[in-house]
A and B are shown apart, each in its own frame.
Chain A
Amino acid sequence: GAVVSQHPSWVICKSGTSVKIECRSLDFQATTMFWYRQFPKQSLMLMATSNEGSKATYEQGVEKDKFLINHASLTLSTLTVTSAHPEDSSFYICSASATLAKNIQYFGAGTRLSVL
């Protein structure tokens, strides 16, 4: 299957700082990347859809200025949580898909963010 790498796997930061999470498709070129947030014992909640070279499309209720997404190449997307606060603490997961692979989403291992 396709391999998606997400880094870091966990991060602890102070309130008010910004955190960047990277998502890379290692063995394929991703047409689209997605960013999800998951709270304990809940399902995945889509935050935004990201296409290479264009602005991300955010889901309703997700602050685009809070969660900055950059998709500079077909293999890399980044999510920056700006001015993080304790309520931003969560499990963030990215996925990548390719048109040539029937647009099936393959997921990274996730990033556990803890904001103190």
Chain B
Amino acid sequence: GQQLNQSPQSMFIQEGEDVSMNCTSSSIFNTWLWYKQDPGEGPVLLIALYKAGELTSNGRLTAQFGITRKDSFLNISASIPSDVGIYFCAGQQLDSSYKLIFGSGTRLLVRP
């Protein structure tokens, strides 16, 4: 079945540093999504990407939908302690089920 490879698995950075994480797939997607999950909570939508090549920002977050439609990256600039959490990419399938395929997650820790 379809799989998403998300990297890195974890990151431990200094406050103020920029962060980059990415997802690649063996299949193409119509939509790429990035979510953040805090411990004991459900994922919260950060950015949604709908077109190949699209670059979208949400505050300090920037994400891009790869031209091949098989990859996406998320950048966080000037990280702050509240950025701590697990970030998941998700690709939405092409069929009418609208199911999401999730990456394995990137655990981000920020040192104050």
Contacts and interface: CB of A to CB of B under 8 A. Distances in A.
Interface in A1-54: 1, 4, 6, 32, 34, 42-44, 46, 49
Contact of B48 (A95, A104, A107, A108): A104
A95 B92 CA distance: 14
Given A43-B102, A43-B105, A49-B99, A106 B45 contact: yes
Q: How large is the interface on A (under 10, 10 to 19, 20 to 34, 35 or more residues)?
A: 20 to 34
Contact of A43 (B40, B42, B92, B104): B104
B12 interface: no
B97 interface: yes
Interface of B: 31, 33, 35, 40-45, 48, 50, 88, 92, 97-100, 102-105
Nearest to A93: B42
A97 interface: yes
Closest 9 CB pairs of A and B: A107-B42, A103-B98, A43-B102, A110-B42, A109-B42, A107-B43, A93-B42, A44-B102, A108-B42
Contacts of B31: 102-104
A112 interface: yes
A105 interface: yes
Interface of A: 1, 4, 6, 32, 34, 42-44, 46, 49, 57, 91, 93, 95, 97, 102-110, 112
Determine chain A's interface SS by DSSP, over half rule. Answer: strand
Nearest to B104: A43
Contact of B33 (A4, A34, A91, A104): A104
Nearest to B88: A43
Given A46-B100, A108-B42, A110-B41, 8 more contacts: A44-B102, A49-B97, A95-B42, A102-B50, A103-B92, A104-B33, A105-B33, A105-B100
B76 to A, nearest CB: 19
A42 B103 CA distance: 10
Contact of A112 (B40, B43, B103, B104): B40
Contacts of A103: 31, 92, 98
A34 B99 contact: yes
A6 to B, nearest CB: 7
